[in-house]
Structure 1
Amino acid sequence: MSGLRERQKEQRRQDIAQAALELFRANGFGATTLEQIANQAGVSAPTVVNYFGGKQEILLALLKQPDEQAMRDARANLDEQSDPLDALCEFEGLMTDYQLQAMPASLWRELAPFLLTGELAQALSPWNAAVIEETKALLEHFQRAGKVRESIDIDVAATLFNQYANMAFIRLATETTQDRQAHALHMRSVLNLLCHGMLENPV
């Protein structure tokens, strides 16, 4: 029975998150209330609080899901022939595609001012740390394969990847017309610089 209860709880959690997303898309994040989310999900407001804590926590859960999927897909696509630049581009591209599918541009425009500084950015910091750790694991994979120099500071490279990818994504997501191809080309050029550096004979 405990397995059934856990599945029921997870289903209710998903129902609440989906209800919130529908309201965020229709009304915006700021205009949506916990009571509206509860009504949309067919539960009470205290139930929403019990499952998530508040609407900010629901938003954070919705933002995490696309990146979690991107991490799983990026790992699954790694093999002995993988190239560090291609792998980083694919990881960034998967995160970008899934996040764009998850939220409309109108919602990204509303959230953008709060994603890099303030309370929401602080709440997102553990998740940014998770993306950095995933990037480090990716780079360490290539370091073990002899495709990334041992002298490279993996922590710095992974943090730089995450920070720049965040800023580039916010710029893309808030554009009236999202030029996904131009974004991908730009990110490839930036990540090429990260991978190969500016020195003719790197040391």
Structure 2
Amino acid sequence: MTGLRARQKEQRRQVIADAALALFKTHGFVATTLEQIANQAGVSAPTVVNYFGGKQEILLALLKEPDKRAMREARSRLDDNADPLDALCELEGLMTSYQLRAMPASLWRELAPFLFTGELSETFQPWNTAVIEETRALLLHFQRQGMLRASVDIDVAATVFNQYANMAFIRLATEVTPDREAHARHMRSFLALMCHGMLKGE
């Protein structure tokens, strides 16, 4: 595929995703159909299927993008003077910030019951896997620097981080008026408790 064709394909994919998000915000995820998304994007329904597969996959792409941005930003700020607790708090804080901007509370409230069980949770597994892998890489960085105990099971720690961060975020995102400061304090307390068992010398 040439560079021009690749850019055109990515642009069309973005147009479809933007159209879907606008409809999800207006009508809700469940009520929105592939045909509506196609009409909004100015393409055919088979084209939407060809690019994404279905509206669940579109939603997955919309959810992954804010986290990808957050992970890139957190990675760019990581240096040899970083502290494990601060680094985890920053990663979680960036993901929370970008996700709150990505979707309104009404949509998060609709999605909340489906994010942890059922068909949607299976569709979203790649989203969770990406966050777990990024957290794993972050923790391995500190373990190699000798800041975390060598006996720490990094895979378990990364999974616990992701699972708890998901639950705390849904609670925040579905509040009528999300209290970001209270959320940040709560997450720092939880992550401090988690880090206490991982830090070398503890």
TM-score by structure 2 length?
Answer: 0.96
Match of 2:79 in 1: 79
Q: How far 1:72 sits from its partner (Å)?
A: 0.5
Identity over aligned pairs, percent: 77
Distance in 2 of aligned mates of 1:131 and 1:3: 29
SS in 2 for 1:79: coil
Q: How far 1:127 sits from its partner (Å)?
A: 2.1
Q: How does 1:1-203 map to 2 (within 5 A)?
A: 2-197=2-197, 202=202
Distance in 1 of aligned mates of 2:89 and 2:28: 31
Residue identity matched to 1:103: M
Give the number of equivalent residue pairs: 200
Q: How far 1:41 sits from its partner (Å)?
A: 0.6
Residue identity matched to 1:5: R
Distance in 1 of aligned mates of 2:182 and 2:11: 38
For residues 66-115 of structure 1, give each alpha carbon's deviation from its aligned partner in whole angstroms, at most 9, with x where no partner exists: 11111101110000110000000000001111111000000000000000
Give the root-mean-square deviation of aligned CA atoms.
Answer: 1.3
TM-score by structure 1 length?
Answer: 0.96
Structure 2 unmatched runs, 5+: none
SS in 1 for 2:124: helix
Distance in 2 of aligned mates of 1:40 and 1:71: 31
Structure 1 unmatched runs, 5+: none
Conserved? CA contact 2:63–2:127, under 8 Å = no
Distance in 2 of aligned mates of 1:178 and 1:35: 33
For residues 152-181 of structure 1, give each alpha carbon's deviation from its aligned partner in whole angstroms, at most 9, with x where no partner exists: 111111111011001000111111110011
Distance in 2 of aligned mates of 1:80 and 1:34: 48
Moved over 6 A (4+): none
